[in-house]
Chain A
Amino acid sequence: MVGKGRPGVCPLFLSVYIGNGMNTLTKQMKIHLPLMFACACLLGFGFQAYGQAKATTALHERFDNALTLYFYKNTLRMLNQSGNKEFDDLIKDIEKMKFLMVDKGSRGFGPADYKKLTSGYKDENYEEIMTSRFEGKNFDVLLNEHNGTTRGMVVLVNDSTNLYVLDILGKVELNKVTKLFREIDNSAEIGKMVKAFSDGQGPRDRARGTRKN
């Protein structure tokens, strides 16, 4: 899990991965440079085609101070400290998850902005599979499918003060989502951090000794 601009678990893994990768890369570059260039191009196209939603990225760019959590496959595996097989099955098709919590009051985010956001997802071939509005709160689930295969899912929760976005790249069975959150919640330090975020007591708040409602 990585909070934007703050230390987390993933940067450590990332640096190890990059460190080893760079050594290998240097050796191989001398031998197979043209082949690697072609692979890099293909990978680039691949990531572009299956990346997380542009609408999420644009929202994050606009609200760059939003609380952000990234979950990668390895991070999710780490959560499964008890070695629960069901949990492994649950996350096996998730490539990446990004969670954003936007404080709407800071820069203004009205109903028209929310409508524009959902339209943005629809423009990227996300389909609304559930929409709801109750007492001014929105809860929407959008699914991105290609030839019957789920590529991604976006869950939006919009209330008067905050906008929550969970952008999942890959597939998760909806009936197991509650189990996913329960496992994250129960998993030691990461669970505590997530809980702190969801209770509105992020690291910055704790540093300032404040608590949001």
Chain B
Amino acid sequence: MKKTILFGAALLLALGAYAQGAAVSDFFNKYQNDESFSQVTISSKMFGLFTNMELEDKEDQEVLNAISKLKGLKVLAKENTRDSRDLYNEAVKTLPKNEYEELMYVRDKDKDMRFFINEKAGKIRELVMVAGGSNEFMMLSIFGEIDLKQISKIGSKMEIDGLKDLERLKDNKKENKN
């Protein structure tokens, strides 16, 4: 009985370690069914289906390996909206400071972008990007085992509009920041 409980607890801890943070999850759930928002959700199984790919290019293979370690990806976005700033502020406030460390802040013309990471036991479990402009808002969450060195390449390879901003991480990896 004890063994079963211990096994169950260990399993929950292991699953929880790679899950999306509760605060981020709540924010997505709040707006997920609002038709005025665009959204993308990709599960670990979808990522898993790409793991059998055989690529000749070494760099592509490295990106693929990084993708195969991801457990999920969620994007929530709203365009042509007056409340983009409110949404941006709400999203940033949603992230508990004791869980999410700010990695980078970018101001590009009228657009603000913040990158946060959730790190546990020396491993990055979640990367969150929040972007807000004068009339557009986007929040992106990638969770699983994250390799920051590859994340900018994932952004360019996956050809999803919002992910292209991840390329900004290219020259601002965590080790450079510290």
Contact = CB atoms under 8 A, between A and B. Distances in A.
Contact of A132 (B39, B50, B53): B39
A133 B35 contact: yes
A15 interface: no
A175 B52 contact: yes
B41 A174 contact: no
B5 interface: no
Given A111-B35, A136-B35, A130 B52 contact: no
23 contacts: A111-B35, A127-B43, A128-B41, A129-B45, A129-B49, A130-B40, A130-B41, A130-B42, A130-B43, A130-B46, A131-B41, A132-B38, A132-B39, A132-B40, A133-B35, A133-B37, A133-B38, A133-B40, A134-B40, A136-B35, A141-B46, A143-B45, A173-B52
A143 B41 CA distance: 14
Interface of A: 111, 127-136, 141, 143, 145, 173-175
A1 B42 CA distance: 32
B46 A129 contact: yes
A127 B45 contact: yes
Contacts of A130: 40-43, 46
Nearest to B74: A131
A5 B52 CA distance: 39
Given A173-B49, A173-B52, A128 B43 contact: yes
Given A131-B40, A132-B40, A132-B41, 9 more contacts: A131-B39, A132-B39, A133-B37, A133-B38, A135-B38, A145-B45, A173-B49, A174-B46, A175-B49
Q: Give 4 nearest A-B pairs by CB, closest first.
A: A129-B46, A132-B40, A174-B49, A134-B38
B43 A129 contact: yes
Contacts of A175: 49-50, 52-53
Contacts, number: 44
B120 to A, nearest CB: 26
Majority-rule SS of A interface residues: strand
B41 to A, nearest CB: 5
Nearest to B47: A129
The range of chain B's interface size is: 10 to 19
Contact of B50 (A128, A141, A174): A174
A71 B38 CA distance: 33
A139 to B, nearest CB: 9
B9 to A, nearest CB: 25
Contacts of B53: 173, 175
Interface string B92-126: 00000000000000000000000000000000000
Given A173-B49, A173-B52, A129 B35 contact: no
Contacts of A173: 49, 52-53
Nearest to B77: A134
Contacts of B52: 173, 175
B65 to A, nearest CB: 14
Contacts of A141: 46
Interface in B15-71: 35, 37-43, 45-46, 49-50, 52-53
A141 B35 CA distance: 19
Contacts of B35: 111, 133, 136
A180 to B, nearest CB: 14
Given A174-B49, A174-B50, A175-B52, A129 B38 contact: no
